[in-house]
């Protein structure tokens, strides 16, 4: 409900963070390309885990050849499309950075961001329900929009201070409240209608950028909190790759027992989402320990 759009901004935040953290990477060499191998290995590991889950728990009867093809087309994990997108973004990053650095003045960089916003976000709002009111051919290049937003924030470090912080929080709450309020008031016996659109649309982009601006300069001085957040950030990719399994475990359980209507069932997301998050965190941590143990055993064997 109100938090559905809020949850959906994870991918935009990831891409903005990619542009922000990798803005200095312009070298195309083996050291750079080798850095992407860890992600591929994580994907392959959880692809195998997901195949076992789908085959033996969900009883999907496919040949091993077809499962292998699903690994290659990134459909074995239904959320695996992000890895396919990330591979291209990773390969393009040095060239995108060179392009961005070649733009001489701040004003032109702002025009680039506005242009990308128009091309990728506006179609989500205006091209719906049989209408096609704005050009939408380039809508799917939205990763470039968020990547360059991250690059821009890295370079110019815009900040929200004073009353602007509270205005940003109010705007996020207001936008995220549109869907649940509309559906609770007007939608009965019908699937929830997404008034605000997707995470890369107009409202999703606004919420994602405001969240990034609110968080990227936060100085957390508490050691325990910093350690927890750092650990979660390091495990976030693995959590993403395995969370579909827990979606398929928890959502059917709660739907079978507690679902009456879309608006009524919304409150159970406050239970299901934390369960999926914590379960994914545990599995991601176990995977890291398993890989660390395997690395140590390999070193001992060589010694």
pLDDT at res. 294: 86
pTM above 0.85, yes or no: yes
Residue spans per domain, the chain: 2-218, 223-303
Cα 111–113–115 angle (5° rounding)? 65
Cα–Cα distances (Å) from 129 to 8, 124, 125, 197, 218, in that order, read 22, 11, 10, 12, 41
pLDDT tier at 229 (50, 70, 90 boundaries)?
A: confident
Average pLDDT for residues 85-112, to the nearest whole number?
Answer: 96
Range from 42-51, 176-185, 281-290 carrying the lowest mean pLDDT: 176-185
3-class secondary-structure state, position 98 = helix
Q: Of 180, 174, 165, 143, which is closest to residue 210 (Cα–Cα)?
A: 165
Residue 295: pLDDT over 50: yes
Residue 288: pLDDT over 70: yes
Helix axes 81-102, 10-21, angle to 10 degrees: 40
Q: What is the dihedral of CA 266, 267, 271, 276, to 10 degrees?
A: 20
Q: Give me the percent of the chain exceeding a pLDDT of 70.
A: 94
pLDDT tens digits, one per residue of 111-144: 999 999 999 999 999 998 889 999 999 999 999 9
The answer to whether the CB of 83 falls within 8 A of the CB of 39 is yes
Residue 4: pLDDT over 80: no
Higher-confidence position of 182 and 203: 203
- Max mean pLDDT range (12-26, 219-233, 249-263): 12-26
């Amino acid at each position: 409900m109100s938090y559905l759009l809020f949850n959906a901004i994870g991918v935009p935040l990831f891409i903005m963070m990619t542009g922000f953290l990798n803005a200095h990477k312009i070298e195309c060499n083996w050291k750079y390309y080798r850095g992407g191998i860890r992600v591929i290995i994580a994907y392959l590991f959880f692809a195998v885990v997901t195949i076992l889950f789908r085959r033996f728990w969900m009883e999907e009867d496919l040949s091993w050849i077809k499962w292998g093809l699903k690994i290659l087309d990134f459909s074995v994990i239904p959320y695996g499309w992000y890895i396919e997108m990330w591979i291209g973004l990773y390969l393009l990053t040095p060239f995108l950075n060179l392009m961005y650095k070649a733009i001489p003045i701040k004003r032109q960089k702002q025009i680039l961001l506005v242009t990308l916003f128009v091309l990728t976000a506006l179609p989500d709002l205006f091209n719906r329900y049989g209408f096609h009111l704005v050009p939408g051919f380039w809508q799917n290049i939205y990763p470039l929009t968020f990547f360059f937003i991250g690059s821009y924030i890295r370079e110019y470090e815009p900040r929200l201070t004073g009353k602007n912080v509270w205005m940003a929080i109010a705007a996020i709450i207001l936008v995220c409240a549109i869907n649940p309020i509309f559906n609770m008031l007007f939608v009965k016996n019908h699937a929830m209608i997404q008034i605000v659109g997707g995470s890369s649309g107009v409202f999703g982009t606004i919420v994602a950028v405001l969240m990034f601006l609110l968080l990227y300069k936060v100085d957390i001085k508490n050691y325990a909190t910093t350690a927890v957040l750092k650990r979660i950030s390091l495990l976030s990719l693995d959590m993403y790759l395995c969370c579909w399994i827990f979606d398929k475990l928890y959502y059917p359980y709660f739907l079978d027992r507690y679902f009456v209507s879309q608006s009524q069932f919304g409150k159970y997301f406050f239970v299901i989402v934390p369960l999926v998050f914590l379960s994914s965190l545990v599995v991601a941590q176990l995977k890291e320990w398993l890989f660390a143990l395997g690395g140590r055993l390999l070193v001992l064997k060589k010694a």
